[in-house]
Amino acid sequence: MKRLLTFFSLILLLNFQAKSQITITGTITDTKKNPIIGCTVQIAGTRNGTISDLDGKYEIKLQTDSCKLIFSYIGYDTKEVEVKGKKGQQITQDVTLEESKMELEECVVVGYGIQKKHSFLGRSGKANARNSFEPAPIKLNTERYDSKDENKFKSTKTDPISVFSVDVDRASYSNIRRFINNSQLPPKGSVRIEEMINYFEYDYPEPQGAYPVSLTAEITDCPWETSHQLMKIGLQAKKINTQELPYSHIVFLIDVSGSMYDDNKLPLLIKSFNYMTGNLRKNDKVSLITYASGTDIKLTAVKCDEKGKEKIIQTISELTADGYTAGGEAIQKAYKLAKENFIEGGNNRIILATDGDFNVGQSSDGELKELVKKGAKDKIFLTVLGFGMYNLNDRMMETIADAGNGNYAYIDNLSEAKKALGTELWGTLYTVAKDVKILVDFNPEVVKSYRLVGYEDRLLDNEDFNDDKKDAGDMGSGHSVTALYELITKKSITDNEPSVVESNYVKTTTTGSSDWCTIKFRYKNPDENKSKLVEKVVTSSTFTQKPSDGFKLASSAAMFGMLLNDSKFSGETTYKSLLEYLKAIPSDDKGYIDELKVLVRKAKDLK
């Protein structure tokens, strides 16, 4: 009887509380009607608040008849809304936030609100005894890039075989875009033509049967050197339904050091990771480690169901930037955490997000490379996301991503984040073919010399092709790889043909074939260590006078890269002729081709 009375008392109490409160719900969007994830909603004058969920929705309860709600999110103008109602009433209050016109460096998100910069101490400035803020000194550009000599023509008399590893990274293109949109031409070391080509989508056929990758080839006259020919090679990885993919445990390893303070670093990172969290499945798991002067494990293997996602988003949304960059120690802890929560047969991956400013601890590229190589052998792979400017260590990030059987992307805006961490997320996270190598065996009867456009960092020796111990690039679900070879044929009239000395003892005999070449590629299934071989003979019928739109797009990206690099192989190409060539390529529904045209026009003006 006593328990029954207690139960009814509790019901009455809850009913009374519900009637004495006002419940406010709504959706927070930007001016384009996109939901804003992780927006802070605070009752003015109190510490009571909440944040918006994956759909931009929020719910908050009032104890009074009226109040002022404050809606704030980094990069948007704060909005205050007066709310009035009667107790027990439910009110819908939708809110639209506008992008801020003020400098984002004036504020930083902290918990359920925004602190002004004078109360925040990071590497961007310093606080004095009176708690006033002294402006930071002018930032020095310490970005680091590896500059490589571009590939030259090789004679088929002495070098008929070309071998390279695939590359699905796309960081170079978005980094170049950042420079050009900031009215600067990119440094030459930042321009990797293969990544510019592979940034775009191509209409390659899906693999058939048991093969995880398809192979196609197309040849036509070279648009920048009309006496030459150009061959495009395309690989397309199988697209696997997201729900059929193995479950994932992903360790978010986030740099929150003082150098990450700028608006295109941590604030953009927070939006990007919140967006990615929304795309994970309910049985995927996320751990979160942050690092600055020290390392902090904030989440461990949180399941991505509705409650879990809200917890992850709230934790990410509360991150702030301060301190030095002990990145080496943090990476070690990330691998340890990944190992402790390893999913057998699943996708186990670390996603490192940083501006690459590793200045304390295990910081040499060589040491980091060995650490991530060991992790890859344990089937824990690494994806690297670069953010921001001035400190960007492109060289280090590309090096360790390659060593970790992963990929490297540069996030310069929210659209790029949605591309890399939304549209292409599962291609990034799940490998369908590993250690993919391409070998092209040219027929000297047809091709006198050739030049691989780009891929300078991916060249392999002849003997590496059959060596299953030799590491190479991986392809994820739905990934494509495109490569271009500039060819000088028997019919070409050119000054670019290399002068070679033939051996007195080794004589090349030809078969009399009219084939252009044979393309071979090797790959391993993700859980196997023995490679499989696929080959395709490229016959004279492959040549066409009417190249596909995809061929024109890849050629345009290559020409753009050569112009930015002041390449001696750019032939007759100018920015003006490239813009004319681009006119023939129709727009795509995602706007990438139109954006390329705009970037070429801007680069022309800067030049």
Percent of the chain with pLDDT over 90: 48
171: pLDDT strictly greater than 60? yes
Range with lowest mean pLDDT among 108-117, 153-162, 225-234, 444-453: 108-117
Q: What angle do CA 153, 509, 161 make, to 5 degrees?
A: 35
pLDDT given for residue 522 in this prediction: 96
pLDDT given for residue 512 in this prediction: 76
- Let me know how many helices (H) and strands (E) the chain has, helices first: 13, 28
Quick one: pLDDT band at residue 471, thresholds 50, 70, 90? confident
pLDDT given for residue 134 in this prediction: 36
pLDDT given for residue 143 in this prediction: 66
In angstroms, the CA 317 to CA 28 distance is: 16
Residue 316 contacts residue 421 (beta carbons within 8 Å): no
Residue 387 contacts residue 378 (beta carbons within 8 Å): no
Going by C-alpha positions, the residue among 284, 275, 222, 226 that lies closest to residue 251 is: 284
* DSSP conformation letters of 44-112: TTSS-EEE--TTSEEEEEESSSEEEEEEE-TTB--EEEEEE--TT-EEE--EEEPBP-S-GGGEEEETT
- 521/135: higher pLDDT: 521
> Hey, what domains does the chain have and what are their CATH numbers?
19-102 (2.60.40.1120), 161-240+432-493+519-606 (no CATH), 242-429 (3.40.50.410)
pLDDT given for residue 220 in this prediction: 96
Please enumerate in sequence order all residues whose Cβ is within 8 A of that of 215, keeping only pairs 6 or more positions apart, or say none. Answer: 233, 234, 235, 519, 521, 534, 536
- Residue 533 burial by CB count (10 A; 0-12/13-18/19+): exposed, middle or buried? exposed
In terms of average pLDDT, the best of 106-120, 128-142, 251-265, 559-573 is 559-573
pLDDT digits (tens, 9 = 90+) for 333-363: 999 999 999 999 888 999 999 887 655 454 4
Positive or negative: CA dihedral 359, 361, 364, 368: negative
- With tokens 């150009």, the residue in question is 230
- 162/120: higher pLDDT: 162
pLDDT given for residue 495 in this prediction: 64
pLDDT digits (tens, 9 = 90+) for 544-602: 999 999 999 999 999 999 999 999 999 989 999 999 999 999 998 888 999 999 999 99
In angstroms, the CA 51 to CA 414 distance is: 20
In angstroms, the CA 325 to CA 195 distance is: 28
Average pLDDT over residues 241-257: 91
Name the pTM for this structure. Answer: 0.76
Average pLDDT over residues 91-116: 57
400: pLDDT strictly greater than 80? no
Quick one: pLDDT band at residue 493, thresholds 50, 70, 90? low
Quick one: pLDDT band at residue 326, thresholds 50, 70, 90? low
Going by C-alpha positions, the residue among 430, 410, 298, 304 that lies closest to residue 353 is: 410
Residue 483 contacts residue 165 (beta carbons within 8 Å): no
Average pLDDT over residues 517-531: 93
318: pLDDT strictly greater than 90? yes
Average pLDDT over residues 529-541: 94
Amino acid at 555: S
Quick one: pLDDT band at residue 46, thresholds 50, 70, 90? confident
pLDDT given for residue 33 in this prediction: 85
pLDDT given for residue 135 in this prediction: 38
Amino acid at 204: Y
